[in-house]
Amino acid sequence: MIAIDIIVPSFRLQAKYLIPIVQMKVPKETTVNFIIIADDPSAKIPDELNRIVNTNNVKLFRNKTNSGASVSRNVGLANSKAEWILFLDDYIVPSTDLLYSYVNAIQENPNSIGFFGETLFPKPRTIFTKGIIACDILTFFFLAGYYEKLKWAPTANVIIKSSAIGDTRFKEIFPKNGGGEDIDFFLEIHKKTNRELLCLTNAPVYHDWWYNEKRNYNRFTRWSFGDSLLHDIYPEYTYYNFPNIIESMVFGIPISVAISTYFQSLLPTLCLLVGIILGECLVEFIRLLIYKGVYQSFFTIEAVLIRASNDIGRLYMQLLRLKRLRGIGERFDHFCDGKHIGFQRMWAGIKFVSYLGIGILCFILLK
Protein backbone atom coordinates (compact mmCIF):
# COMPACT_ATOMS: atom_id res chain seq x y z
CA MET A 1 0.00 0.00 0.00
CA ILE A 2 1.45 3.37 -1.07
CA ALA A 3 0.43 6.37 1.07
CA ILE A 4 0.55 9.85 -0.47
CA ASP A 5 -0.24 13.21 1.12
CA ILE A 6 -0.93 15.97 -1.40
CA ILE A 7 -0.01 19.41 -0.05
CA VAL A 8 -1.57 22.44 -1.75
CA PRO A 9 -0.97 25.95 -0.35
CA SER A 10 -3.66 28.32 -1.61
CA PHE A 11 -4.28 32.04 -1.27
CA ARG A 12 -7.13 32.11 -3.77
CA LEU A 13 -9.09 28.95 -2.86
CA GLN A 14 -10.48 28.75 -6.39
CA ALA A 15 -12.78 25.78 -6.95
CA LYS A 16 -11.86 25.45 -10.65
CA TYR A 17 -8.35 24.38 -9.60
CA LEU A 18 -8.84 22.72 -6.22
CA ILE A 19 -11.82 20.52 -7.13
CA PRO A 20 -10.00 18.73 -10.01
CA ILE A 21 -7.09 18.14 -7.62
CA VAL A 22 -9.15 16.53 -4.84
CA GLN A 23 -11.14 14.53 -7.40
CA MET A 24 -8.11 12.90 -9.02
CA LYS A 25 -8.37 9.20 -9.77
CA VAL A 26 -6.58 7.12 -7.15
CA PRO A 27 -4.82 3.87 -8.14
CA LYS A 28 -5.55 0.60 -6.34
CA GLU A 29 -3.46 -0.14 -3.27
CA THR A 30 -2.91 3.60 -2.80
CA THR A 31 -4.21 5.86 -0.05
CA VAL A 32 -4.32 9.60 -0.68
CA ASN A 33 -4.94 12.50 1.68
CA PHE A 34 -5.31 16.09 0.53
CA ILE A 35 -3.94 18.85 2.76
CA ILE A 36 -5.04 22.32 1.66
CA ILE A 37 -3.61 25.33 3.46
CA ALA A 38 -5.65 28.53 3.12
CA ASP A 39 -3.18 31.41 3.29
CA ASP A 40 -5.81 34.15 3.24
CA PRO A 41 -7.57 34.28 6.64
CA SER A 42 -10.59 36.00 5.09
CA ALA A 43 -10.92 33.83 1.97
CA LYS A 44 -14.32 32.21 1.50
CA ILE A 45 -14.27 28.48 0.94
CA PRO A 46 -16.12 27.71 -2.33
CA ASP A 47 -19.34 25.76 -1.76
CA GLU A 48 -18.16 22.84 -3.90
CA LEU A 49 -15.03 22.53 -1.77
CA ASN A 50 -16.74 23.23 1.55
CA ARG A 51 -18.94 20.16 1.09
CA ILE A 52 -15.95 17.84 1.12
CA VAL A 53 -13.50 19.71 3.38
CA ASN A 54 -12.60 17.91 6.61
CA THR A 55 -14.50 14.84 5.52
CA ASN A 56 -12.85 11.61 4.49
CA ASN A 57 -9.44 12.46 3.02
CA VAL A 58 -9.62 16.25 2.47
CA LYS A 59 -8.32 18.49 5.25
CA LEU A 60 -8.15 22.29 5.19
CA PHE A 61 -5.99 24.39 7.49
CA ARG A 62 -6.27 28.17 7.63
CA ASN A 63 -3.30 30.40 8.47
CA LYS A 64 -4.05 33.15 11.00
CA THR A 65 -2.26 35.65 8.74
CA ASN A 66 -1.12 35.73 5.14
CA SER A 67 2.14 33.90 5.83
CA GLY A 68 3.31 32.93 2.36
CA ALA A 69 4.09 29.79 0.38
CA SER A 70 6.95 28.56 2.58
CA VAL A 71 5.02 28.74 5.86
CA SER A 72 1.95 27.17 4.25
CA ARG A 73 3.87 24.19 2.88
CA ASN A 74 5.51 23.74 6.28
CA VAL A 75 2.04 23.58 7.85
CA GLY A 76 1.24 20.85 5.35
CA LEU A 77 4.42 18.94 6.22
CA ALA A 78 3.67 19.23 9.94
CA ASN A 79 0.28 17.59 9.36
CA SER A 80 1.50 14.89 7.00
CA LYS A 81 2.07 11.27 7.99
CA ALA A 82 2.34 9.60 4.59
CA GLU A 83 5.39 7.95 3.08
CA TRP A 84 5.24 10.23 0.02
CA ILE A 85 4.51 13.95 -0.29
CA LEU A 86 3.14 15.38 -3.54
CA PHE A 87 3.46 19.16 -3.82
CA LEU A 88 1.02 20.88 -6.18
CA ASP A 89 0.31 24.57 -6.72
CA ASP A 90 -3.19 25.99 -6.43
CA TYR A 91 -3.38 27.22 -10.02
CA ILE A 92 -2.81 23.95 -11.87
CA VAL A 93 -5.16 21.27 -13.14
CA PRO A 94 -3.64 17.77 -12.90
CA SER A 95 -3.70 15.32 -15.75
CA THR A 96 -6.29 12.58 -15.33
CA ASP A 97 -3.70 9.88 -14.64
CA LEU A 98 -1.24 11.97 -12.63
CA LEU A 99 -1.36 9.73 -9.54
CA TYR A 100 -1.14 6.58 -11.69
CA SER A 101 2.05 7.91 -13.27
CA TYR A 102 3.63 8.71 -9.91
CA VAL A 103 2.56 5.40 -8.33
CA ASN A 104 3.96 3.45 -11.29
CA ALA A 105 7.22 5.38 -11.02
CA ILE A 106 7.42 4.61 -7.29
CA GLN A 107 6.80 0.91 -7.90
CA GLU A 108 9.38 0.75 -10.69
CA ASN A 109 11.99 2.82 -8.79
CA PRO A 110 11.41 2.01 -5.10
CA ASN A 111 14.82 3.36 -4.07
CA SER A 112 14.34 6.79 -5.63
CA ILE A 113 13.74 9.78 -3.36
CA GLY A 114 11.32 11.51 -5.71
CA PHE A 115 9.97 12.35 -9.14
CA PHE A 116 8.60 15.33 -11.00
CA GLY A 117 6.60 15.94 -14.13
CA GLU A 118 6.09 18.75 -16.57
CA THR A 119 4.05 21.85 -15.84
CA LEU A 120 2.53 22.82 -19.17
CA PHE A 121 1.07 26.18 -20.18
CA PRO A 122 -1.63 26.86 -22.77
CA LYS A 123 -0.63 27.99 -26.23
CA PRO A 124 0.31 31.69 -25.90
CA ARG A 125 -2.08 34.10 -27.62
CA THR A 126 -0.71 37.53 -26.71
CA ILE A 127 2.59 39.20 -27.49
CA PHE A 128 3.39 39.15 -23.78
CA THR A 129 2.95 35.39 -23.31
CA LYS A 130 4.70 34.68 -26.61
CA GLY A 131 7.61 36.71 -25.27
CA ILE A 132 7.57 34.63 -22.06
CA ILE A 133 7.99 31.46 -24.11
CA ALA A 134 10.65 33.01 -26.33
CA CYS A 135 12.87 34.22 -23.46
CA ASP A 136 13.00 30.79 -21.72
CA ILE A 137 12.18 32.15 -18.28
CA LEU A 138 9.82 29.18 -17.74
CA THR A 139 12.49 26.61 -18.59
CA PHE A 140 12.27 24.61 -15.37
CA PHE A 141 8.54 24.09 -15.65
CA PHE A 142 9.16 22.06 -18.81
CA LEU A 143 12.46 20.32 -18.02
CA ALA A 144 10.99 16.97 -17.02
CA GLY A 145 10.32 16.46 -20.71
CA TYR A 146 14.00 16.87 -21.62
CA TYR A 147 16.12 15.63 -18.69
CA GLU A 148 16.45 12.33 -16.86
CA LYS A 149 17.13 13.73 -13.39
CA LEU A 150 17.72 17.05 -11.63
CA LYS A 151 18.59 18.26 -8.15
CA TRP A 152 15.42 20.34 -7.73
CA ALA A 153 12.02 20.88 -9.27
CA PRO A 154 9.27 23.52 -9.09
CA THR A 155 6.73 22.77 -6.37
CA ALA A 156 3.97 23.05 -8.96
CA ASN A 157 4.30 19.30 -9.57
CA VAL A 158 6.78 17.17 -7.62
CA ILE A 159 6.56 14.13 -5.34
CA ILE A 160 9.20 13.22 -2.77
CA LYS A 161 9.69 10.57 -0.11
CA SER A 162 9.02 11.89 3.40
CA SER A 163 12.05 10.03 4.76
CA ALA A 164 14.23 12.06 2.37
CA ILE A 165 12.64 15.28 3.63
CA GLY A 166 13.25 14.43 7.25
CA ASP A 167 13.43 17.67 9.24
CA THR A 168 14.09 19.84 6.17
CA ARG A 169 11.58 22.67 5.85
CA PHE A 170 10.97 25.59 3.50
CA LYS A 171 12.91 28.60 4.72
CA GLU A 172 10.75 31.61 5.58
CA ILE A 173 13.32 34.14 4.29
CA PHE A 174 11.97 33.82 0.76
CA PRO A 175 9.19 36.02 -0.72
CA LYS A 176 5.69 35.11 0.42
CA ASN A 177 4.46 34.76 -3.14
CA GLY A 178 7.23 32.35 -4.01
CA GLY A 179 10.62 32.46 -5.65
CA GLY A 180 13.70 30.47 -4.67
CA GLU A 181 12.18 28.54 -1.77
CA ASP A 182 11.64 25.38 -3.82
CA ILE A 183 15.23 25.48 -5.12
CA ASP A 184 16.57 25.81 -1.59
CA PHE A 185 14.30 23.09 -0.18
CA PHE A 186 15.31 20.44 -2.70
CA LEU A 187 18.99 21.40 -2.73
CA GLU A 188 19.02 20.93 1.05
CA ILE A 189 17.58 17.45 0.54
CA HIS A 190 20.13 16.73 -2.21
CA LYS A 191 22.91 17.83 0.12
CA LYS A 192 21.72 15.31 2.74
CA THR A 193 20.95 12.39 0.45
CA ASN A 194 23.25 12.98 -2.53
CA ARG A 195 20.30 11.81 -4.66
CA GLU A 196 18.43 13.54 -7.47
CA LEU A 197 14.79 13.67 -8.54
CA LEU A 198 13.85 11.54 -11.54
CA CYS A 199 12.02 13.24 -14.41
CA LEU A 200 8.77 11.83 -15.79
CA THR A 201 7.34 12.59 -19.21
CA ASN A 202 3.91 11.12 -18.42
CA ALA A 203 2.98 13.14 -15.31
CA PRO A 204 1.95 16.61 -16.53
CA VAL A 205 -0.13 19.27 -14.85
CA TYR A 206 -1.70 22.15 -16.73
CA HIS A 207 -1.01 25.71 -15.62
CA ASP A 208 -3.04 28.77 -16.64
CA TRP A 209 -1.34 31.99 -17.72
CA TRP A 210 -1.01 34.53 -14.96
CA TYR A 211 -3.08 37.75 -15.21
CA ASN A 212 -5.20 36.30 -18.06
CA GLU A 213 -2.22 36.81 -20.40
CA LYS A 214 -2.17 40.55 -19.71
CA ARG A 215 1.22 42.25 -19.60
CA ASN A 216 2.67 42.25 -16.08
CA TYR A 217 6.37 42.00 -15.24
CA ASN A 218 6.09 41.98 -11.42
CA ARG A 219 6.20 38.20 -11.12
CA PHE A 220 9.51 37.92 -12.94
CA THR A 221 11.03 40.71 -10.89
CA ARG A 222 9.89 38.95 -7.70
CA TRP A 223 11.35 35.61 -8.79
CA SER A 224 14.80 37.18 -8.80
CA PHE A 225 14.23 38.46 -5.23
CA GLY A 226 14.19 34.87 -4.02
CA ASP A 227 16.92 33.67 -6.38
CA SER A 228 19.27 36.37 -5.08
CA LEU A 229 19.06 34.87 -1.59
CA LEU A 230 20.47 31.60 -2.91
CA HIS A 231 23.90 33.07 -3.68
CA ASP A 232 25.13 33.12 -0.08
CA ILE A 233 23.44 29.82 0.79
CA TYR A 234 24.92 27.92 -2.18
CA PRO A 235 28.14 29.67 -3.26
CA GLU A 236 29.15 26.45 -5.02
CA TYR A 237 26.42 27.11 -7.60
CA THR A 238 27.25 30.77 -8.28
CA TYR A 239 29.47 32.27 -10.95
CA TYR A 240 30.28 35.65 -12.47
CA ASN A 241 29.14 36.81 -15.87
CA PHE A 242 29.39 39.88 -18.07
CA PRO A 243 27.11 42.80 -17.09
CA ASN A 244 23.56 42.41 -18.36
CA ILE A 245 21.44 45.20 -19.82
CA ILE A 246 20.34 46.58 -16.42
CA GLU A 247 23.80 46.44 -14.84
CA SER A 248 25.28 48.08 -17.93
CA MET A 249 22.76 50.92 -17.74
CA VAL A 250 23.03 51.47 -13.98
CA PHE A 251 26.83 51.59 -13.97
CA GLY A 252 27.58 52.59 -17.56
CA ILE A 253 25.31 55.60 -17.87
CA PRO A 254 26.85 57.52 -14.90
CA ILE A 255 30.29 56.97 -16.40
CA SER A 256 29.11 58.22 -19.77
CA VAL A 257 27.49 61.24 -18.06
CA ALA A 258 30.87 62.11 -16.56
CA ILE A 259 32.41 61.83 -20.02
CA SER A 260 29.59 63.96 -21.45
CA THR A 261 30.27 66.59 -18.79
CA TYR A 262 33.95 66.65 -19.73
CA PHE A 263 33.17 67.07 -23.44
CA GLN A 264 30.18 69.35 -22.69
CA SER A 265 28.02 67.18 -24.91
CA LEU A 266 25.26 64.62 -24.26
CA LEU A 267 26.41 62.59 -27.23
CA PRO A 268 28.51 60.00 -25.28
CA THR A 269 25.60 59.29 -22.94
CA LEU A 270 23.06 59.01 -25.75
CA CYS A 271 25.35 56.80 -27.81
CA LEU A 272 25.96 54.40 -24.93
CA LEU A 273 22.24 54.22 -24.17
CA VAL A 274 21.49 53.46 -27.82
CA GLY A 275 24.33 50.93 -27.88
CA ILE A 276 23.02 49.03 -24.84
CA ILE A 277 19.40 48.90 -26.00
CA LEU A 278 20.14 48.20 -29.66
CA GLY A 279 22.89 45.71 -28.83
CA GLU A 280 20.65 43.76 -26.47
CA CYS A 281 17.79 43.59 -28.96
CA LEU A 282 20.00 42.75 -31.93
CA VAL A 283 21.91 39.94 -30.23
CA GLU A 284 18.75 38.52 -28.64
CA PHE A 285 17.09 38.55 -32.07
CA ILE A 286 20.03 36.60 -33.50
CA ARG A 287 19.99 34.15 -30.58
CA LEU A 288 16.28 33.46 -30.98
CA LEU A 289 16.67 33.12 -34.73
CA ILE A 290 19.41 30.53 -34.31
CA TYR A 291 17.82 28.43 -31.57
CA LYS A 292 14.08 29.02 -31.95
CA GLY A 293 13.48 30.02 -35.55
CA VAL A 294 12.01 32.99 -37.35
CA TYR A 295 8.62 32.94 -35.62
CA GLN A 296 9.85 33.34 -32.06
CA SER A 297 12.41 35.97 -33.09
CA PHE A 298 9.40 38.23 -33.82
CA PHE A 299 8.94 38.58 -30.04
CA THR A 300 12.48 39.75 -29.31
CA ILE A 301 11.50 43.07 -27.71
CA GLU A 302 9.00 41.43 -25.35
CA ALA A 303 11.55 38.77 -24.44
CA VAL A 304 14.12 41.49 -23.68
CA LEU A 305 11.66 43.36 -21.44
CA ILE A 306 10.77 40.22 -19.48
CA ARG A 307 14.41 39.29 -18.91
CA ALA A 308 15.22 42.91 -18.01
CA SER A 309 12.47 42.90 -15.37
CA ASN A 310 14.12 39.83 -13.84
CA ASP A 311 17.52 41.56 -13.99
CA ILE A 312 16.09 44.64 -12.25
CA GLY A 313 14.94 42.53 -9.32
CA ARG A 314 18.32 40.83 -9.06
CA LEU A 315 20.30 44.08 -9.00
CA TYR A 316 17.84 45.68 -6.57
CA MET A 317 18.26 42.80 -4.14
CA GLN A 318 22.04 42.66 -4.37
CA LEU A 319 22.59 46.42 -4.06
CA LEU A 320 19.78 47.76 -1.90
CA ARG A 321 18.40 44.88 0.15
CA LEU A 322 21.39 42.59 0.70
CA LYS A 323 24.10 45.26 0.38
CA ARG A 324 26.22 42.73 -1.53
CA LEU A 325 28.50 44.67 -3.86
CA ARG A 326 30.13 41.39 -4.82
CA GLY A 327 26.71 40.31 -6.08
CA ILE A 328 27.02 42.62 -9.09
CA GLY A 329 27.58 40.37 -12.09
CA GLU A 330 27.04 37.27 -9.95
CA ARG A 331 24.65 34.64 -11.28
CA PHE A 332 23.09 31.45 -9.94
CA ASP A 333 23.50 28.25 -11.94
CA HIS A 334 19.95 26.93 -11.79
CA PHE A 335 20.98 23.63 -13.37
CA CYS A 336 23.46 23.20 -10.51
CA ASP A 337 25.87 21.24 -12.69
CA GLY A 338 28.09 23.88 -14.31
CA LYS A 339 27.35 22.55 -17.79
CA HIS A 340 25.50 25.64 -19.04
CA ILE A 341 27.78 28.34 -17.63
CA GLY A 342 29.96 28.51 -20.74
CA PHE A 343 26.90 28.96 -22.96
CA GLN A 344 25.53 31.71 -20.72
CA ARG A 345 28.86 33.52 -20.65
CA MET A 346 29.25 33.31 -24.40
CA TRP A 347 25.96 35.09 -25.14
CA ALA A 348 26.36 37.56 -22.28
CA GLY A 349 29.84 38.38 -23.60
CA ILE A 350 28.56 38.88 -27.14
CA LYS A 351 25.87 41.21 -25.83
CA PHE A 352 28.30 43.23 -23.71
CA VAL A 353 30.72 43.65 -26.63
CA SER A 354 27.78 44.75 -28.79
CA TYR A 355 26.81 47.39 -26.20
CA LEU A 356 30.25 48.95 -26.42
CA GLY A 357 30.71 48.40 -30.14
CA ILE A 358 27.41 49.93 -31.22
CA GLY A 359 27.84 52.79 -28.73
CA ILE A 360 31.31 53.63 -30.04
CA LEU A 361 30.15 53.34 -33.65
CA CYS A 362 27.26 55.74 -32.98
CA PHE A 363 29.64 58.21 -31.38
CA ILE A 364 32.07 58.08 -34.33
CA LEU A 365 29.27 58.54 -36.86
CA LEU A 366 27.52 61.37 -35.02
CA LYS A 367 30.30 63.47 -33.53
CATH of the domain at 56: 3.90.550.10
Considering the domain architecture, whether residues 143 and 195 belong to the same structural domain is answered as: yes
Considering the domain architecture, whether residues 48 and 184 belong to the same structural domain is answered as: yes
Spatial CA neighbour of 126 closest among 210, 47, 35: 210
Considering the domain architecture, whether residues 135 and 207 belong to the same structural domain is answered as: yes
pTM for the model: 0.94
Does residue 223 belong to any structural domain of this protein?
no
Assign 3-class secondary structure to the chain. CEEEEEEEEECCCCHHHHHHHHCCCCCCCEEEEEEEEECCCCCCCCHHHHCCCCECCEEEEECCCCCCHHHHHHHHHHCCCCCEEEEECCCEEECCCHHHHHHHHHHHCCCCCEEECCEECCCCCCHHHHHHHHHCCCHHHHHHHCCCEECCCCCCEEEEEHHHHCCCCCCCCCCCCCCCHHHHHHHHHHHHHCCCEEECCCCCEEECCHHHHCCCCHHHHHHHHHHHHHHHHCHHHEEECCCCHHHHHHHHHHHHHHHHHHHCCCHHHHHHHHHHHHHHHHHHHHHHHHHHHHHHHCCHHHHHHHHHHHHHHHHHHHHHHCCCHHHCCEEECCCCCCCCHHHHHHHHHHHHHHHHHHHHHHHHHHC
Last residue of a domain, one of 184, 216, 248: 216
From CA 6, how far away is CA 37, in angstroms rounded?
Answer: 11
Considering the domain architecture, whether residues 285 and 191 belong to the same structural domain is answered as: no
HSE (CB half, 13 Å, CA atoms) of 131? Answer: 22
C-beta separation of 244 from 328 below 8 A: no
Does residue 224 belong to any structural domain of this protein?
no
Residue 270: alpha-carbon gap to chain centroid: 35
- Average pLDDT of each block of 10 consecutive residues along the chain (367 residues)? 97 94 95 96 90 87 95 98 97 96 97 97 96 96 94 97 98 92 98 97 96 93 94 97 97 92 91 97 98 95 98 96 95 96 98 97 91
pLDDT score for 263? 83
Considering the domain architecture, whether residues 207 and 144 belong to the same structural domain is answered as: yes
Considering the domain architecture, whether residues 49 and 180 belong to the same structural domain is answered as: yes
Considering the domain architecture, whether residues 205 and 310 belong to the same structural domain is answered as: no
Considering the domain architecture, whether residues 342 and 209 belong to the same structural domain is answered as: no
Beta carbons within 8 Å of 221's beta carbon, 6+ residues apart? 309, 310, 312, 313, 316
Does residue 94 belong to any structural domain of this protein?
yes
Does residue 229 belong to any structural domain of this protein?
no
pLDDT score for 53? 87
Considering the domain architecture, whether residues 198 and 247 belong to the same structural domain is answered as: no
Backbone phi, psi, residue 168, to 5°: -70, 135
| Rounded CA Rg of the chain | 23
Considering the domain architecture, whether residues 212 and 241 belong to the same structural domain is answered as: no
Does residue 231 belong to any structural domain of this protein?
no
Does residue 205 belong to any structural domain of this protein?
yes
pLDDT score for 279? 98
Considering the domain architecture, whether residues 10 and 103 belong to the same structural domain is answered as: yes
pLDDT score for 177? 86
The domain in which residue 287 lies consists of 237-366
Last residue of a domain, one of 181, 216, 251: 216
Backbone phi, psi, residue 190, to 5°: -60, -40
Structural domain count of the chain: 2
Considering the domain architecture, whether residues 211 and 165 belong to the same structural domain is answered as: yes
